[in-house]
Amino acid sequence: MSDPTETDSLAADAADLGVAGPLPTVQRVGTEVDGRLVSALRWGARPGVTLLHGAGLNAHTWDATLLALHEDALAVDLPGHGDSAWRDDFDYRPATNATAVAALLDALGTGPQVVVGQSLGGLTAIALAADRPDLVAALVIVDASPGLRVGDAKQVTDFLAGEQVFDSREQIVANAIAAGIGADRARITRGVAHNTRVRDDGKVVWKHHLAYPPKAAPGLPDVTTPWTGLTATEVPVLLVRAAHGYLPDDVVAEFRERVPRAAVVELDTGHNVQEQDPAGLAAAIRGVLG
């Protein structure tokens, strides 16, 4: 039960999507921010799209979407996730994450990006637009919005609050399916492989910090995000709502009222749109790219 390499699962994702031809070049890159590593996967040589995952996920959640998108991109491991360092203060608020993402983009010299963020990553993208508008050419927010309440995402919070140590990765896959976190067993299996590690004693544990909060900290970060990242900028904005996701009607209505210039599309998926309908999400992002 060895840990996968960065590209082990790409061929299977490509086969699922019917994507032919050579696989893209994917390279692990990173920088230190306040002494902590912020890591990412660079697809191609000149990223124009930066993707930020949700709570408890990692950069590989975007693999299938990027295979369908065919664009150079940067898929970031948010602090405390994937290969990025954990924070001793357990501060994974959107604004804190955005500071780390900005430092990574500055270090890599990417210039303005189409920033795609799902769930916590979507709120981080909004915070990035508010704090560093020079780095944001457009925003694609996936099943997230200011005004979203932690209780709206009870499915994922319950899942993250569950078991922390497992006998096998197959046990986690079964738990995810039972919790409604997707239904494609093969795809979930690939995602779990990238999101866990095997300890020396053979037990399997999560790579992300949210499963192991300090006793004095809550299980999830404060996701409160001001609207200013959306309302105070002129960049194009697309909201991708999952029909079976976490955005309630009242939050979507407020989004439309506060950001009338934004486009809103709905895809027939659960919350993890990038894993459940990667081709549909890629098509939506492509519409923003022009």
* pLDDT tens, position by position, 268-280: 999 999 999 999 9
Mean pLDDT of 91-113: 97
Residue in 143, 152, 194, 277 annotated catalytic: 143
pLDDT score of 148: 80
Describe the strand order of the beta sheet including 165-166 as a list of residue ranges: 165-166, 204-206, 196-198
**Angle subtended at Cα 172 by Cα 171 and Cα 176, rounded to the nearest 5 degrees:** 120
Token reading at 105: 């983009």
- Domains of the chain by residue range: 10-150+219-289
Which pLDDT tens digit goes with each residue over 108-159?
Answer: 999 999 999 999 999 999 999 999 999 999 999 999 999 887 666 666 666 6
Active site residue 167: no
pLDDT digits (tens, 9 = 90+) for 213-267: 888 766 567 788 899 999 998 999 999 999 999 899 999 999 999 999 999 999 9
Give the C-alpha separation, 183 to 73, whole Å. 27
> What is the structure's pLDDT at 244?
92
Q: Is 143 labeled as catalytic in the residue annotation?
A: yes
Higher pLDDT, 19 or 77: 77
Does 89 have pLDDT greater than 70? yes
Q: Could you tell me what percent of the chain has a pLDDT over 90?
A: 75
Residue 216: predicted pLDDT = 75
Active site residue 271: yes
The pLDDT assigned to 262 comes to 96
Could you tell me the CA-to-CA distances from 59 to 128, 155, 173 in Å, in that order? 18, 21, 18
Average pLDDT, the chain: 91
| 39, 84, 119, 145: the active-site residue | 119
**Greater confidence, 71 or 164?**
71
Dist. CA 19–CA 164, nearest whole Å: 35
Which of the four pLDDT bands, split at 50, 70 and 90, describes residue 185?
Answer: confident
Q: What is the pTM of this model?
A: 0.94
- What's the pLDDT at 55? 92
Query: Percentage of residues in the chain with pLDDT exceeding 70?
Result: 92
The answer as to CATH 3.40.50.1820 being correct for domain 10-150+219-289 is yes
pLDDT at 151: 66
Quickly state the pLDDT bin for 176 (edges 50, 70, 90).
confident
